[in-house]
Amino acid sequence: MALLIKNGRIITATDDYTADVYCEGETITKIAPSIDSGSIAKGTEVIDAAGKYVFPGFIDPHVHIHLPFMGTCAKDDHASGSRAALAGGTTSFIEMICPGPKDEPLDAFNEWKSKAEGQAACDFSFHMSVVRFDESAREQFRQIVTIEGIPSFKVFLAYKGALDLSDEDLFGMLSLAKELGVIVTAHCENAEAIDAMQKRLLAEGKTGPEWHEPSRPISVEADGVHHLATMAGLTGAHIYTVHTSCEPAVRTALDARLRGVNVWIESVMPHLVLDKSAAERPNFEGAKYVMSPPLRGRRHQDVLWAGLAGRAISTIATDHAPFDFKGQKDMGKGAFTKIPNGIPSIQDRPALVYTHGVRPGRIDLHTFVDACSTQAARIFGMYPRKGDIRVGADADLVVWDPDFEGTLSKETSLSAVDYNAYEGWKVNGRASAVTVRGEVQAKEGKFVGTTGRGRLITREPTHF
């Protein structure tokens, strides 16, 4: 069915104008000041967006849906996770494939892909984690990039003995990435330092979730960024620091950029609006807010918002990793190191950024679109199919009601997890209609679309 969105104020990363948008055959086919409904296909669905914004569909470049972790598995599947994403206005996401060091990379890719196909209601792609780098793995990574269309890797400078790479393998992986035009997304910490800190804290009887942040202080994250940037400078690889949480880590990345390192910086929703006091809540309630890198002191939020406003920080993701408070997070009651990490945010990201970023003037509407959509599309090889409103682009659109006022809660969340980290928070603004390739998939915070309609986004390497 064709779709016509009339009278909306179109906002992209660069433009602001009022026009009608006509979509047919899954793409945007016409944009004009006024499109007469009599000139369009019979049966066209018409949405009146008067008084509302029209944004390109939001893209979350860092999510976990299928995630085996610490002996359990994240609660969302692609059906629930994509419905939650769409209800908030996210029309595409990139999921981290996280195999174990003994797993075959191609087997892992096929496993993650099979979990999404036929289940996801929004479009999806993947970052391929590199947790081993022998000759067999290298050849499989080549195939994943060149045949499967996944030109982004993920590497961990954390989780000693589980996911981290030796420096020799890190150097080799970055060299391969440069050869293939792949961008390397990286969890930047210092695995050795964290391991030592955690052992010391636990030996001192400091076992609660409030000790998670002291075991991974800001200096450890900044050190990880510096180490990765050094290796990237030596190899020429392009890198992207995920969930960058604090001023020293941001400054270290920017210093590397000034030295000529090709580095992009990601912030995530929890670090922008939550601080470390959340993980210090009594009666183990703080476990809901354990993630890595941890929530930081409130002063770091100002740095992140300022970095976004100046476009020094490129993207706002979520690092969505949904583990139940009861039955999963409580596995760590005897030791904070056993708490599954993650603060679910996939549905609430756009409303929280709009409420805490746009409304108080920390960022403008263009930056909102750029950080939540366009930059992810550009960096990860989806632009201009995704991340913009232009003729020929996929008809992924968000009609946004700036006058909506509501409250976030578990009751209105479509994620399968048993809590909402932002329970009771007031928000301004909401996606009133959300389309994926021209089909309305969500309205007024509710999923109204087709489960399984989501499609794998294959991408071309661009980071040579």
Give the domain CATH number at 344: 3.20.20.140
Sign of torsion, CA 195 225 288 67?
Answer: negative
Among 30-44, 181-195, 286-300, 433-447, which is the least confidently predicted range?
Answer: 30-44
**Residue 461 in domain:** no
User: Which stretch of DSSP H or E encloses residue 446?
Assistant: strand 446-447
Residues 89 and 137 in one domain: yes
Tokens of 30: 């016409």
Q: Classify residue 418: in a domain, yes or no.
A: no
Sheet containing strand 152-157, edge to edge, reads: 58-63, 90-97, 123-129, 152-157, 183-188, 238-241, 263-268, 315-317
CATH number, domain with residue 436:
2.30.40.10
70 and 184 inside one domain: yes
66 plus 31 within the same structural domain:
no
Range of the domain at 188: 56-379
Burial class (CB in 10 A: 0-12, 13-18, 19+), 157: buried
Strands, E assignment, 175-247: 183-188, 238-241
Whether residue 417 lies inside any domain: the answer is no
| 241 and 368 housed in the same domain | yes
Residues 176 and 219 in one domain: yes
Residue 41 — very low, low, confident or very high, per pLDDT cuts 50/70/90? confident
120 torsion bin: left (phi>0), alpha (psi -120 to 50), beta (else)? beta
> Taking all residues of the chain, what is their mean pLDDT, rounded to a whole number?
97
Residue with tokens 């150097």: 171
Contact 403, 51 (CB under 8 A): yes
Instruction: Give yes or no: residues 43 and 60 share one domain.
Output: no
Q: Are residues 210 and 293 in the same domain?
A: yes
The string of pLDDT tens digits covering residues 48-78 is 999 999 999 999 999 999 999 878 999 999 9
Q: Residue 161: which pLDDT band, with cuts at 50, 70 and 90?
A: low
Say yes or no: 38 and 147 in one domain.
Answer: no
CA triple 387-388-391, angle to 5 deg: 135
- Tell me, what's the pLDDT at 164? 76
Q: 386 in a domain, yes or no?
A: no
Mean pLDDT over residues 92-102, rounded? 95
Comparing C-alpha atoms, which of 82, 54, 27 is closest to residue 453?
Answer: 82
In this prediction, residue 71 carries a pLDDT of 83
Residue 159 has pLDDT above 90, yes or no: no
Do 33 and 136 share a domain, yes or no?
no
pLDDT of 278:
98
Mean pLDDT of 282-311: 97
SS3 of 5-74:
EEEEEEECCCCEEEEEEEEECCEEEEEECCCCHHHCCCCCEEEECCCCEEEECEEEEEECCCCEECCEEC
Q: Give, in order, the Cα–Cα distances in Å from 409 to each of 384, 418, 434.
A: 34, 11, 20
pTM of model > 0.75: yes
H or E stretch at 107: helix 105-116
Domain count of the chain?
2
Other residues' Cβ atoms within 10 Å of the Cβ of residue 269: 27
**pLDDT (tens digit per residue) in 169-183:** 999 999 999 999 999
In-domain check, residue 464: no
Q: Tell me if 421 is assigned to some domain.
A: no
The per-residue pLDDT for range 232-251, each reduced to its tens digit, is 999 999 999 999 999 999 99
Q: Say yes or no: 50 and 68 in one domain.
A: no
Do 42 and 82 lie in one domain? The reply is: no
Chain centroid to CA 292: how far? 14
**Amino acid, res. 137:** A
Which pLDDT tens digit goes with each residue over 249-284? 999 999 999 999 999 999 999 999 999 999 999 999
Spatial separation of the C-alpha atoms in residues 272 and 332, rounded to whole Å: 25
CA dist 149 and 207 (Å) reads: 43
Report, in angstroms and rounded to the nearest whole number, the Rg of the chain calculated over CA atoms.
21
* In-domain check, residue 234: yes
- Do 103 and 211 share a domain, yes or no? yes
For position 162, what pLDDT does the model report? Answer: 79
- CB distance 354 to 428 below 8 Å: yes
Q: List, for residues 454-463, the tens digit of each pLDDT value.
A: 999 999 999 9
Is beta strand 3-11 parallel, antiparallel or unpaired with respect to 53-56? parallel
Q: Look at residue 258 and tell me if it is in a domain.
A: yes
